[in-house]
Amino acid sequence: MPERLPITLILPAFNEARIIEQVIRDIRQVGNFRIVVIDDGSTDGTAAKVLAMGEQVVRHPLNRGAGAACQTGISLARKYGWPYLAFMDSDGQHFPEDLEGLITTMQAQQADLVIGSRFAGTQNQIPYLRRFFNTAANILTNSFCTHHYTDTQSGFRLLNQRAIAALDLLQDDFSYCSEMIILAERAKLKVAETPIRVRYTDYSVSKGQDFQVGLLTAFHFLWKLIFK
């Protein structure tokens, strides 16, 4: 692991009782991170399982969306002065050890926001429809960006204190992925990408967003950017 950073790891979760304990165990094997689960209105006992493992839970009384969970994580970082914030999916899709690559990239490139890319130099087995709709979302998002990004929809991200202070997200749904990058560029933050691995199981695929809906969501968000 590169030079240790005081990272708080945020896990947005909606009905992840089946897998959340294993995700937390996998994270603990990598390092002693502060783990905070944002329970986004779960009804399956997700929060109880996290609390039984001794980790912190912040609950939304209703399911608001992945973007809202991300907003809550950023608000907590500002409130408690956490200098580094990582976001990772809670469905077992991501490999916690790949956080090392995000840290290395942040330090080497002096980046404020690092995105873990499924498409940058890695041979991930990604379902066709997901690859297709991610490509379409990339095209839409990159049309509003100065730089080109290979995975604008990745949920695996690392923010430093500048990014935490600057990023005021408004989107509650999955369009927050695009919004964060666009706002970061507007705030003159340095955005970087680094390769990550992903594993798509029947469970993680079932937990993912409907990417047709996700693409439409991103389109509506970007449309608002043009005509707001």
Each domain of the chain, given as residue ranges in start order, spans 7-227
CATH number of 7-227: 3.90.550.10
Task: Give 66-91 pLDDT, tens digit per residue.
Answer: 999 999 999 999 999 999 999 999 99
Task: Give 124-176 pLDDT, tens digit per residue.
Answer: 677 667 777 788 888 989 999 999 999 999 999 999 999 999 999 999 988 89
Question: Which is more confidently placed, 200 or 182?
Answer: 182
> Whole-model pTM?
0.88
**Which residue pairs from 142-148 have beta carbons closer than 8 angstroms and sit at least 24 positions apart in sequence?**
143/222, 144/178, 144/182, 144/222, 144/225, 145/181, 145/182, 145/185, 146/185, 147/185, 147/191
